[in-house]
A and B are shown apart, each in its own frame.
Chain A
Amino acid sequence: MIHTTIGSAGHLLVIIAFVTALVATFAYFKAGMTNAAIDEQLTWKRFARATYFLHVVAVLGVVFSLYWIIGNHYFEYHYAWKNSSLSLPAGYTISSFWQDQEGSFLLWIFWNVVLGSILIFSNRSWEAPVMTVFALVQAFLTSMILGVVIPGLDVKIGSTPFLLLKEVMPDIPVFKMDPNFIAKDGNGLNPLLQNYWMVIHPPTLFLGFASTLIPFSFAIAGLWTKKIQEWIRPALPWALFSALVLGVGILMGAYWAYETLNFGSYWNWDPVENSSIVPWLVLVAAIHTMIIGRKNATALKTSFILTIATFILVLYSTFMTRSGVLGNASVHSFTDLGLSGQLLVYLLSFTIVSIGLLIYRWKSLPSDDEEVSTYSQEFWIFIGATLLCLSGFQILATTSIPVYNKIAEAFGTVLNMALPADQVGHYNKFQLWFFSLIIILTGVGQFFWWKRVGKGKLQGLYNPLLIALLISAAVITFQGVKDIQYIVLLTAAIFAIVANGTILLNIIRGNYSLSGGAITHIGIALMLIGILFSSAYTKVVSINNSGLMISRSEEFTNNDNKENKENITLWLNKPEKMGEYMLTWRDVRVEPRHIPGYIPKSWVDIVENDYHAVALRDIVVNDKKYNSKGDTLEIFPENFYYEIEYREPSGRVFNLFPRVQINPKMGGIVSSPDINRKLDKDLYTYVSMVTNPTAEPVWSQTENFTVNMADTFFVNDYVAILDNVVRTDSVEGVTLGAGDAAVKAMIRVLDNDHEFVITPSFVIRDRMVARKPEVNNDLGLRVQFQEINPQTGQFTFAVNTTQRDFIVMKATEKPLINILWLGTFVMVIGLVMATIRRFRDFIKMRDRENAAANKNKDKMKPQVA
Chain B
Amino acid sequence: MKKIQIFGLVIIAVAIGIIISTAGDASTYVDFSKAQEMASSGDDESIHVVGKLKKNTAGQILEMEYQPEVDPNYFTFTLIDNNNVSQKVVYKSTKPQDFDKSEQVVVVGKMQNGTFAAEKILMKCPSKYENGKLETTEATASKS
Contacts and interface: CB of A to CB of B under 8 A. Distances in A.
Interface string A415-430: 0111111101010011
A420 B130 contact: no
Given A394-B18, A567-B94, A808-B94, A666 B70 contact: no
Interface string B29-48: 11000000000000001111
A424 B130 CA distance: 29
A808 B18 contact: no
B127 to A, nearest CB: 7
B60 interface: no
B72 A540 contact: no
Given A298-B4, A418-B29, A567 B18 contact: no
Contact of B73 (A419, A564, A666): A564
Contacts of A398: 22, 25-26
A181 B14 CA distance: 62
B18 A430 contact: yes
A371 B2 contact: yes
Interface residues on chain B, size class: 35 or more
Contacts of A670: 97
A305 B121 CA distance: 40
B98 A565 contact: no
Given A331-B138, A540-B144, A393 B72 contact: no
A321 to B, nearest CB: 13
A822 to B, nearest CB: 22
A567 B93 contact: yes
Highest count of chain B CB atoms <10 Å: which of A327, A429, A668, A671: A668
Interface in B74-128: 74, 92-95, 97-98, 100-101, 104, 106, 108-109, 119-120, 122, 124-125, 127-128
B119 A335 contact: no
Nearest to A564: B92
Given A331-B138, A335-B130, A416 B73 contact: no
Given A335-B135, A538-B144, A547 B73 contact: yes
A566 B93 contact: yes
A424 B26 CA distance: 13
Given A670-B97, A689-B68, A812-B144, A187 B120 contact: no
B72 A568 contact: yes
Contacts of A417: 26-29
Interface in B7-26: 7, 11, 14-15, 18-19, 21-22, 25-26
B113 to A, nearest CB: 11
Nearest to B129: A190
A537 to B, nearest CB: 11
B142 interface: yes
Contact of A419 (B15, B18, B27): B27
A669 B72 contact: no
Given A390-B18, A418-B26, A421-B120, A564 B93 contact: yes
Nearest to B90: A555
A502 interface: no
B115 to A, nearest CB: 12
Nearest to A535: B144
A401 interface: yes
Nearest to B137: A331
Given A330-B136, A420-B26, A668 B97 contact: yes
Interface string B47-77: 1100000000000000000001111111000
A264 B141 CA distance: 12
Contact of B101 (A190, A538, A668, A671): A668
Contacts of A422: 25, 46, 119, 142
B72 A564 contact: no
A689 B72 contact: yes
A37 interface: no
B144 A264 contact: yes
Nearest to B126: A667
Nearest to B102: A668
A397 interface: yes
Contact of B136 (A169, A331, A429, A812): A331
Contacts of B22: 394, 397-398, 401, 426
A551 interface: yes
B120 to A, nearest CB: 7
- Sorted from nearest, which 3 A-B pairs have the closest CB atoms? A421-B46, A547-B71, A564-B92
25 contacts: A328-B124, A397-B19, A398-B25, A398-B26, A416-B30, A418-B26, A418-B47, A422-B46, A426-B25, A538-B144, A540-B143, A547-B74, A548-B73, A552-B71, A552-B74, A563-B73, A563-B92, A665-B128, A666-B127, A667-B128, A668-B97, A670-B97, A688-B72, A688-B97, A689-B94
